[in-house]
Amino acid sequence: MKRIFLLLTFMLSFVQLRADEGMWLMTMIKRLNGVDLKKQGLKLTPEEIYSVNNSSLKDAIVQFGGGCTAEMVSKEGLLFTNHHCGYGNIAALSTPEKDHLTNGFWAMKKSEELPAKGLSVRFLVRMDDVTKRINAKLNNSMSADERKAVIDAEYKAVQTENSENGKYSVVVRDFFNGNEFYYFVYQDFKDVRLVGTPPNALGKFGGDTDNWEWPRHTADFSVFRVYADSNGNPAEYSPNNVPMKPKHALPISLKGYKPGDFAMIVGFPGRTNRYLTSFGIEQMVNKDYPAWVEASKVAMDVMKKHMDADQATKLDYASQYASVANYWKNRQGTIDAVNKNGTIADKKALEAKYMTWALLPENQAMYSGVLTDIKANYAQFSNRNVERNYSSQLQRNAKYIPVAYQLGSLLKTYADQDANGKAAMKTKVTDAIERMYDGFNVKLEGEMLNSMVNLYQQRVNKGDSSPTLMAADAKNLSTMAYSSIFATKESVMHFVENPDRLKIDADPLLKLANGFVEDQKLGAEKYAKVDEAFAKNSRIFLDGLRKSQPEKAFYPDANSTMRLTTGSVSTLPVRSDRNYAGIKAKNNYYTEINGMVAKYKKGDEEFDLPQDFLDLVKRKDFGQYADKKGFMPVNFLSNNDITGGNSGSPILDGQGNLLGLAFDGNSEALSGDIIFDEKLQKTINVDVRMVLWIIEKYGKAGHLISEMTLVK
């Protein structure tokens, strides 16, 4: 590996206009100056946070499954993440007979740990700035295609230079709407196994009712282990693999916390739009998100109907339903928060200040017209954006369309082969079929297809719609699907044994899927010039916005790259419409286990609790994990700046010890992906003491605790 001495020389201090705003790239902190983090409570040196050539904090943080964060907590490859992050893998490893999702699971020895098929974790090896290199070859007179060609060529060159012949995955990303560029070198481990999970009643306590709300009482964690080959390198699953040994594992604090204590979070936040214009926010909350909310609710209702009727279906669709429900509530909450908090007015005030700067003679030519142009762009593609939201939910939830489209092309190629060609392809084809129909409920999917296409026909503007979907008989699409080659796994397998090119060419479901996809491509072409102009205008606007505020340290929007956010343990004002279970206002920064029991409703899908858990609480058998005041803590608040993708991220004290796992935000600030509210925006964390107590006392898996380093 190249010896690149990229130890951060960043200063451990920075200015923030709002106290804890910002999801900072590790190498960007060096830009900042102002408030001394050491005075706030940070004890770590720069090298202990980020180092290329030595063990550092970054080496304990991984991207989990592509959409969450996890942290290494032992030298034997043990990791913690959220229960909702492991949810899909836990459900996939469950059956009605061995229902780990409902009943929980604890491996009492490594040989009992369950391989999670398709799950991988990603370690950051190093990152670097290639902005000057790429921008030197770009200019604003380029067309979108010319610009893309230059960027793609540079991306490919950077990847080749840093992958070490495929040893590492190299990703190059643009930041600030294409004004800056960084590359990230990763190492991916693909043998990850489930070690332990609390039952769903604990891991998802409160369900959709408490989701995005405070106070929370949720044991939102799960435990996995990463495996490597005998040399410590990434490898596909093998019974001969051994637990990987991370460069750093987080010590775990049992000391607790109080309001004002320093706290930082490191993770992989997914996406924010902090520099979205007022026009973009208006489009989002008035048109885009209402479409998302409505389509999600229709899909949820179909799923729940069939999930409630059959346990196997409930397990098969548990992860999909949870994900759709989470974003359904998030999107509606965002609409409400934006309207309540005056977000659009705040953006307009910022844009007015920008225009004062942009109209100065030296800035006018480049920057004064872009806001007007962006407003015009939104007017041009407003209805198209609404169609995209209904379309995306249709494609996500109506599986008959992606199944037919993806398998249709493969089966046509298969049908055209001679006998030898078919024999060579057969394994690939059957594997694809098994994967596509895993957990596929025919009746549910038929009803889903009818419902989602019917909604699309009712809500989408005809001029921006798919003619194929508009012409479909939405009431009878399920009947068409059931008569298709793609109706069931068995019907597709029958075609594999008896391939007929004429039959597949005539298949009505495949025609629907292909027509819909082709319509989407034509729609993209229709708006290509507008999208090109919008991308350029957005890039120039953000360039100007940053130049207009030279005193401000700007951070880039989240884009699933590793970020650090600092803050402190924090309280939230009490609301009259929430169940605080006896919490005093001054203590509204944590919840404890008696409050969890106070919410208990026997037999309730969201608030039931296992009897053995209730018995443990009654005995007050909290061991070394009780707070010094005697109670068992459950969740706590901090004012760190996070978003989706941060789920499972470690929240750390100033010495880098694990305090808990971030798992949610609060409804008062669901506009947080657009604008940071320093008074209202909070992170909800599960206390690591609750995690360890459940592992040892409830799960009786104390052998896992012995792997960890506890700081008392």
**How far is it, in rounded angstroms, from Cα 668 to Cα 17?**
20
pLDDT band at 586 (very low <50, low <70, confident <90, very high): confident
Per DSSP, the three-state class of 184 is strand
- Whether 306 is catalytic is no
Q: Which two tokens stand for residue 218?
A: 């949720």
Looking at residue 587, what is its pLDDT? 85
* Pair 696, 576 in one domain: yes
Q: If you search the block for the tokens 């279906």, which residue do you land on?
A: 313
Q: Is 83 a catalytic residue?
A: no
- Other C-beta atoms closer than 10 Å to the C-beta of 5 total 8
Domain presence at residue 556: no
Mean pLDDT score of the chain: 94
Measured between alpha carbons, how far is 630 from 524 in angstroms, rounded to an integer? 61
Are residues 621 and 704 part of one domain? yes
Residue 34 clears pLDDT 60, i.e. is over it: no
Asked whether residue 30 is assigned to any structural domain, the reply reads no
Spatial CB neighbours of 69, under 8 Å, sequence gap ≥ 6: 61, 62, 63, 81, 85, 266, 267, 268, 645, 646, 647, 648, 649, 650, 662
> Is the separation of the CB atoms in 661 and 650 below 8 Å?
yes
Say what the pLDDT of residue 33 is.
39
Neighbours of 233 (CB within 10 A): 11
Residue 664: active-site member: no
pLDDT exceeds 80 at position 706: yes
DSSP bridge pairs for 447: none
The band of 30, judged by pLDDT with boundaries at 50, 70 and 90, is low
Residues 331 and 411 in one domain: yes
* Beta carbons within 8 Å of 159's beta carbon, 6+ residues apart: 170, 171, 172, 183
Whole-number Cα distances in Å, 681 to 213, 433, 669, 674, 678: 12, 45, 5, 12, 6
The helix (H) or strand (E) run that includes residue 601 is none
Mean pLDDT of 472-478: 95
Whether the CB-CB separation of 611 and 564 falls below 8 Å is answered with no
Tokens representing 506? 């005539």
Which burial class, exposed, middle or buried, applies to 628 when counting CB atoms under 10 A from its CB (0-12, 13-18, 19+)? exposed
Here the tokens at position 335 are 């609409």
If phi > 0 it is left, if psi is from -120 to 50 it is alpha, else beta; for residue 58 that is alpha
pLDDT tens-digit profile of 95-106? 999 999 999 999
* Residue entry with tokens 């070394």: 624
What distance in Å separates the CA atoms of residue 7 and residue 52, rounded to the nearest whole number? 6
Give the pair of three-digit tokens for residue 289. 């998100």
Report DSSP letters for 463-487, one per residue: GGS-HHHHHS-GGGHHHHHHTSTTS
Query: 578 and 520 share a domain?
Result: no
Residue 5, pLDDT > 70, answer no
349-387 tens-digit pLDDT: 999 999 999 999 999 999 999 999 999 999 999 999 999
User: Exposure of 664 by Cβ count < 10 A (0-12 exposed, 13-18 middle, 19+ buried)?
Assistant: buried
- What's the rounded mean pLDDT across residues 405-429? 96
As given in the structure block, the two tokens for residue 678 are 């320093």
Encoding tokens for residue 69? 């964060």
Give yes or no: residues 425 and 496 share one domain: yes
Choose, from 465, 560, 647, 649, the residue flagged as catalytic.
647
* End residue of a domain, out of 205, 234, 250: 250
- Beta bridge partners, 262, equal 568
Q: How far apart are CA 64 and CA 498, in angstroms?
A: 41
Q: How confident is the model at residue 36 (pLDDT cuts 50, 70, 90)?
A: low
CA-nearest of 191, 174, 172, 199 to 183 is: 172
- Domain co-membership, 140 together with 200: yes
Asked whether the predicted pLDDT for residue 4 surpasses 50, the reply is: no
Is the pLDDT reported for residue 13 higher than 70? no
Q: What is the DSSP string of 223-253?
A: EEEEEE-TTS------TT-EE---S----EE
Q: Give the Cα separation of 22 and 563 in Å (integer).
A: 9
For the stretch 597-649, pLDDT in tens is 999 999 999 999 999 999 999 999 999 999 999 999 999 999 999 999 999 99
CA distances from 495 to 37, 380, 405 (A): 65, 45, 16
| Amino acid 29: pLDDT | 61
Domain that holds residue 341: 278-532
Which entry of 59, 191, 220, 543 is annotated as an active-site residue?
A: 220
In this predicted structure, the answer to whether residue 1 has a pLDDT above a threshold of 50 is no
Query: Quick one: pLDDT at residue 577?
Result: 85
Catalytic pick among 56, 74, 83, 84: 84
Residue 165, in any domain of the structure? yes
Report d(CA 521, CA 514) in Å as an integer. Answer: 11
**Does a cis peptide bond (omega within 30 degrees of 0) precede residue 499?**
no
Torsion from C-alpha of 412, 415, 417, 423, nearest 10 degrees: 110
Residues 188 and 334 in one domain: no
Return the residue matching tokens 């044994």.
497
Q: Give yes or no for a contact between 193 and 114, defined as CB atoms under 8 angstroms apart.
A: yes
Q: Are residues 606 and 702 in the same domain?
A: yes
Question: Is there a single domain that holds both residue 651 and residue 609?
Answer: yes
Residue 28 in any domain: the answer is no
C-alpha 27/C-alpha 562 separation (Å) is: 10
Tell me which H or E stretch contains 314.
helix 311-341
Say if 240 falls within a structural domain.
yes
For the residues 153-182, what does the mean pLDDT come to? 97
**How do residues 494-506 score in pLDDT, each as one tens digit?**
999 999 999 999 9
Same domain, 87 and 202: yes
- The neighbouring-strand residues paired with 70 are 62
Asked if 500 and 623 sit in the same domain, the reply is no
What would the mean pLDDT of 254-271 be, rounded to a whole number?
A: 96
H or E segment to which residue 608 belongs: none
DSSP conformation class of 677: -
> What does the block give as tokens for 585?
């206002």
Q: Tell which residue, 403, 285, 271, 282, has the closest CA to residue 334.
A: 285
Q: Which residue has the higher pLDDT, 39 or 173?
A: 173
For residue 341, give Cα distances in angstroms to 19, 21, 336, 597, 670. Answer: 18, 17, 8, 34, 10
One-letter amino acid for residue 401 of the chain: I
Residue 699 inside a domain? The answer is yes
**What is the Cα–Cα distance from 668 to 338, expressed in whole angstroms?**
10
Residue 7 lies in a domain: no
User: Is 511 a member of any domain?
Assistant: yes
Q: What is the pLDDT of residues 639-695, one digit of tens each?
A: 999 999 999 999 999 999 999 999 999 999 999 999 999 889 999 999 999 999 999
97 shares a domain with 222:
yes
Number of domains in the chain: 3
Q: Computed over its alpha carbons, how large is the radius of gyration of the chain? A: 26
**What's the pLDDT score for residue 9?**
34
The torsion angles phi and psi of 476, rounded to 5 degrees, stand at: -120, 15
pLDDT greater than 60 at residue 306: yes
Q: Which residues pair with 242 in a beta bridge?
A: 228
**Cβ-count burial of 577 within 10 angstroms (0-12 exposed, 13-18 middle, 19+ buried)?**
exposed
Q: What is the percentage of the chain residues whose pLDDT exceeds 90?
A: 90
